[in-house]
Structure 1
Amino acid sequence: MIKIQTNTIFLLLLLFSTPAAALSQGKPERLRLIHADFLKRETIGQEVRQVLTGSVKFEQGKKTIECDLASQTIDEDPIALIGNVYIYDEEQSLFADTVYIYTKEFKLVAVGNVRSFTGNDTTTANRMTYFQKQKKVISEGDVRKIDPKEKTILTGGFAVYQREAKYGEVFDHPVLIQNDSLGNEIMRILADTMEVFENGQRTIAKGNVEIIQPDIKATCGQAEYIKSESEITLTDSPKILQRNQQISGDTLKLYLRDSKLNRAVVTGNALAISDADTLDRGKWLNKLTGQTMEFVFGDANELKKVIIKNQATSLYHIIEEKEYKGTNEVSGDRITIELVDGQAQTVQVSSSPDLSTGKYSPPNQI
């Protein structure tokens, strides 16, 4: 019986980052059976099965394994740890309903209410498979990774994590949630798939990407989030929807401050459209165009300033006291618009001499 459990623990040592020197020597620390209520040995035909039951506990150095039942058919895989399985060392803890250990494949499969704890994060799933030789972990079913330090939660249906490369892929409707210091959600990123680099310092979301903050939603085909730079780059038909406004272009960069949108810069075929009258949407549309646009947002995600550069144009419908007064249309090298409560307060146009234009059209000429 001890032989079987020694193999078990030795494999677990491999899976839980045993130092390379110990592995090369092939001499794990001595395994000690601390407790078991019963030991049973069964012979069925040519097979011999050994079972430990009742508050089973092993220790090996600083590692501990506990379960309700441990069993194996001699010289056969898998070894089964069943019921309230708990595997612990100083670097990582694993809880599960059942753990199957395949000694020949250097593989461990945890099934049912799986929870993995490290010093940095917590991962839960319906099933986790550890591949020691490939240094890979596959998580399946309601995957959820919580990083308290970064205040992030990453969820999905299926995830693959490469330990040495610190690289992961998440599939089946992945969602990345950023919380503030009080645990309130301030940003959510959804996509078809996500790639995570350097343990979440860089994330690439692909396919039907949505980035959601209070009063603001951005969509695109691909987004790259660099956490250290507080920057998200959107490509493949990027758009921002903000209250009654829509912003689009070839490339869109979001600059965050404390994970909230502070600035947005659109490069290439920049276009911004908004309703002139929020009570009669779609009737009159204000329109801004240019090669580059910068949008500055306030603390409540309200738009405060727009800077348009290169082939800048502005078409603005004038509505005063619910009465339509016509349009102002201006163009130049650079247009700066200051806004209050979503309404333009000042418009400044700068350009080389004779290149800026301005035109007012009364209602009867539109």
Structure 2
Amino acid sequence: MELVGNVCVRDTSKTIEADSITYLVEEKKVIANGHVLIQRKGQWLSSDRAVYLKAGNQIIASGGVQLIDPTEQITVTGGQAEYDLETKAAVITDHPKLLKAETKRGKNLIVTARQLEFHSEDKKVIASQDVHISRERMNAICGKMIYLQAEERLILQNTPEVIGLRSGAAEEILKGDTIKIAIKDGQVNEVIVIGEATGKTVGVDGGEVSEVSGQKVSLQFKDEELQRITVQGNATSIYRFFRAEDSEREINEVSGDTVQFFFREGELYRVLVTGGAMGIYSSSSKF
């Protein structure tokens, strides 16, 4: 059976609209073509073509796929999607992209990868392979990302790197085995790097370099201004400063079980080292 021209099919759980719909009775298959729009329990799936497999309660969509969850302000796009109607889980491939809109702050979260899994029941998104994440000045790359919507937390795995968390730095890179980014009220409020954790910041003029390393590095923010850095487990901090015009050089190295850095209005004002503290300081202009 084939229906043509602004077709709309409804049942108890979903609505399918398309330019044409073909229903294969024996195969229990519905084929929708042209401006396909499927609505189900507050979610919209649009595409150029979609096949509904009644036996597996599954939809396979292709061409200009767009999955929208207006409640969570999430839009996922891609070339193809497989959507399980039972679990409300979708796997999106062919240049998938996730956009999490942030209306309060206007700092949208954008994620691209080779594959995106959108689990609406569990409020979770999983991105796999060549993952790129951007949010205002922050960028990140990794092999796998888990986004926990209810907790507003990003978990980056498989050689993750986070770049450019703070303003006032020409280069800023965090690396480790796992990086967790917590967002509250539309703002980044904590970043935790676990396992072979390193951080490097280069000043705008390139003459100021700060490096930290340890088993765990935690950064706490308030209104997205850095308040504290805590380095734990064989913690080491190296600060280098070089000013070419007067040949001034400065090296400041500290290590201990834990090293904490405290900031006020973007400026470091206190360093606290605990457990086996050691330090080296040199400055050609002062000593």
Fold equivalence (TM over 0.5): yes
Query: What does residue 39 of structure 2 align with?
Result: 117
Q: 1:186·1:260 contact (CA, 8 Å) conserved in 2? A: no
Query: What does residue 227 of structure 2 align with?
Result: 304
1:162 corresponds to which of 75, 78, 84:
84
Distance 2:277 2:61 in 1: 59
Query: What does residue 360 of structure 1 align with?
Result: 281
Deviations 1:235-281 (A, max 9, x none): 11111101521000111111121353221111111100111x3123x
2:190 corresponds to which of 236, 252, 263:
263
Distance 1:144 1:183 in 2: 24
- Please give the secondary structure, in 1, of the residue aligned with 2:108: strand
Counterpart AA for 2:9: I
Query: What does residue 279 of structure 1 align with?
Result: 205
1:136 corresponds to which of 50, 58, 75:
58
Distance 1:164 1:92 in 2: 12
Q: CA deviation at 1:358?
A: 1.3
State the structure with more CA Rg: 1
Deviations 1:63-111 (A, max 9, x none): xxxxxxxxxxxxxxxx211111122356432221111111110100111
Q: CA deviation at 1:197?
A: 2.6
Matched ranges for 1:223-262 at <5 A: 223-242=145-164, 244-262=171-189
Q: 2:38·2:45 contact (CA, 8 Å) conserved in 1? A: yes
Counterpart AA for 1:155: T
- Corresponding residue pairs, total: 279
Percentage identity across paired residues of the two chains: 27
Counterpart AA for 1:279: D
Structure 2 CA distance for partners of 1:139 and 1:199, relative to 1, 3 Å: farther
Query: What does residue 329 of structure 1 align with?
Result: 253
1:177 corresponds to which of 94, 99, 110:
99
**More strand, by proportion:** 2
Query: What does residue 9 of structure 1 align with?
Result: none
Distance 1:166 1:149 in 2: 15
Query: What does residue 22 of structure 1 align with?
Result: none
Deviations 1:33-54 (A, max 9, x none): xxxxxxxxxxxxxxxxxxxxxx
Query: What does residue 92 of structure 1 align with?
Result: 14
Distance 1:234 1:259 in 2: 19
Q: CA deviation at 1:139?
A: 0.8
TM-score by length of 1: 0.71
Structure 2 CA distance for partners of 1:318 and 1:341, relative to 1, 3 Å: farther
Distance 1:185 1:341 in 2: 22
Deviations 1:160-202 (A, max 9, x none): 0112233221101111111124694521111110122344612
Task: Output the aligned Cα RMSD.
Answer: 2.3
2:136 corresponds to which of 191, 196, 214:
214
Does 2:211 correspond to 1:294? no
Distance 2:222 2:259 in 1: 20
- Please give the secondary structure, in 1, of the residue aligned with 2:239: strand
Query: What does residue 314 of structure 1 align with?
Result: 237
Distance 2:122 2:105 in 1: 18
**More helix, by proportion:** 1
Distance 2:228 2:105 in 1: 30
Query: What does residue 193 of structure 1 align with?
Result: 115
Which structure has the higher relative contact order (CA within 8 Å, separation 6+)?
2
Counterpart AA for 2:239: Y
Structure 2 CA distance for partners of 1:170 and 1:233, relative to 1, 3 Å: same
Matched ranges for 1:20-99 at <5 A: 79-89=1-11, 91-99=13-21
1:108 corresponds to which of 30, 52, 57:
30
